[in-house]
Amino acid sequence: MTSDRIPPPRQRLLRSLVLLLCLGVLGWTGLRVAGQGFHPRDDALRHVAKVVSGKPWTEILVVRPEISMDSHPGWHALLGAVRSVTKADKQSLLNFSVLFLFFAFTMPPVFYLRRGEAWIAALALSAVVSFGPVCRLFFGRPYIASMILILLFCFLWERIEEKKRPGNELAALAVAAALAAWIHGTWYLFTLPLLALALARRWRALALVAGAVGVGVVVGAALTGSPLVFLHQMLFHALESLGKKDFAHQLVGEFQPFAGEAPALFLAGGLLLWRRARGAWEMRVVDNPVFYLAVVGWIMGFFTLRFWTDWGWPALAFWVAGEIQAVLEAYTDVFSIRRLFLAGVFCLVLLLATTNDRDSRWSGGAAVWPDMEKATHRPWLPEPGGILYNDNMDLFYQVFYQNPQGPWRYALGFEPIWMTAENLKAYRRMQLTRGKDESYRPWVEKMTKRDRMILIRHRKPEIAGLEWHEITPTVWSGKVSEVK
């Protein structure tokens, strides 16, 4: 049956069943993960807490003077709008963050691929051979906006190159770039798709995409209200975050180098060998911007993991889906029962591989953290106008989420480079000495009675000058003793 004929009712039904099956399993997967009590443990918490607090970062963190504005204004605006309309509480906003971003990334390819089940198969293969990038789709963080931009680029670049007037495609890419810049802020990394186009020698597409992305970045920056400050601060943030440390282990985990992601290489290599074995080899399979973007992201992953997870892996997932789609189109009719059966198999594998609770990755309950609403906890949290000195970003995420209205500021928040020069110097010393007690002396010497030092320890800290109390299991709070 040719594609220009109107399919009879039974064929329309089968096509609809495949679509509903794919969308249904994605919906079920997201809800199943959330239903097991999944609780993100990092930035998703601070985004929600910031919106609930209603305060700027300068009233939440003790920040260096170069930091003057929000780094994710679009995401906070969206969460604020959701909260305003729905009156959602913290947990509801957190669930929204996880599910909305997961669906926003995973569902559109089902519609724009000719065989939507190929995308389900690509996700299923990723979940089986290398679960890390798939797991990150549930973190509820705005970097997924940039990953969505990558998917859109993968889908549109060829149309932009081949169409005489690709106005709609360029407009869509510009809008996506504007939203990604406004929501996530890493506008400087939008050059990676341009690099991929250059490597593939797609000069017309390069010029057009560069123009669309450039317009999008300008619009996204303008939405912040302070475009030049925003563009400068985000670039300053990146350069300082990756450059101001002595050793790689001083970076947060996702900024550290990765180990090469060998399973992803085996997956890509296996698909290429399969293509050659069935006599369908074409140079354009690897000589194209999507494949080059995956390779660039993989290579740069040895510098920082997130080049792979946020930029290389989405391109690879799209490329894998394209390879699977080519096989499906060659061996199954678009309206056959076999297609429905294979779609069901792909959906089942994705569901089982993703939602299983291995090592309690989804059901691992949140620990008990200090709560200013509890009378026994309040004396051991900072007083109004005080500072909470901490050496662990996880503690910041959890305590800030638990106490978004806390009338104090944090010495260390979500990124060390935001700290004042004096606090950062002390923090780097703590990292180099693996948290030896004497490294905390600079903080102890400037603490006042309003301040607290809160550390995660299995035993009582032996830091002189402070009186210690275990607020909750393994969470110790120290306040200035009568005699330091």
Locate tokens 């320890």: which residue? 457
pLDDT at 243: 64
Q: Residue 365 — very low, low, confident or very high, per pLDDT cuts 50/70/90?
A: low
pLDDT at 437: 84
pLDDT at 239: 83
Separation CA 35–CA 16 (nearest Å): 27
Residue 377 — φ and ψ, nearest 5°? -90, -35
pLDDT tens digits, one per residue of 171-205: 999 999 999 999 999 999 999 999 999 999 999 99
pLDDT at 3: 45
Q: 473, exposed or middle or buried, with CB in 10 Å at 0-12, 13-18, 19+?
A: exposed
Between 466 and 483, residue with greater pLDDT: 466
Record the pTM. 0.94
pLDDT tens digits, one per residue of 263-281: 999 999 999 999 999 999 9
Taking phi first (over 0 means left), then psi (-120 to 50 degrees means alpha), and beta for anything else, what does residue 185 get? Answer: left
| pLDDT over threshold 70, residue 484 | no
What is the pLDDT of the chain when averaged over all its residues?
93
Say how far residue 27 (Cα) sits from the centre of its chain: 19
Tokens of 231: 């563009």
pLDDT at 249: 62
Q: What percent of the chain has pLDDT over 90?
A: 83
Least confident piece of the model among 137-141, 258-262, 432-436, 460-464: 432-436
Q: Residue 212 — very low, low, confident or very high, per pLDDT cuts 50/70/90?
A: very high
- Nearest 10 degrees: Cα torsion 402, 406, 409, 414: 20
pLDDT tens digits, one per residue of 75-133: 999 999 999 999 999 999 999 999 999 999 999 999 999 999 999 999 999 999 999 99
Mean pLDDT across the stretch 368-379? Answer: 95
Separation CA 402–CA 90 (nearest Å): 9
| pLDDT over threshold 80, residue 442 | yes
Please work out, in degrees rounded to the nearest 5, the angle formed at the alpha carbon of residue 420 by the alpha carbons of 414 and 424.
70
Least confident piece of the model among 284-293, 425-434, 475-484: 475-484
Tokens of 91: 């947990």
Separation CA 308–CA 288 (nearest Å): 18
pLDDT tens digits, one per residue of 59-76: 999 999 989 899 999 999
pLDDT at 244: 57
pLDDT tens digits, one per residue of 251-264: 666 778 888 899 99
Tokens of 47: 């985004």
Edge-to-edge order in the sheet of strand 466-472: 409-410, 387-389, 452-456, 475-480, 466-472
**Residue ranges per structural domain of the chain:** 19-360, 378-480
pLDDT at 366: 66
Tokens of 8: 């009879």
| Strand pairing report for 387-389 and 409-410 | parallel
Tokens of 82: 């959701």
Separation CA 261–CA 365 (nearest Å): 29
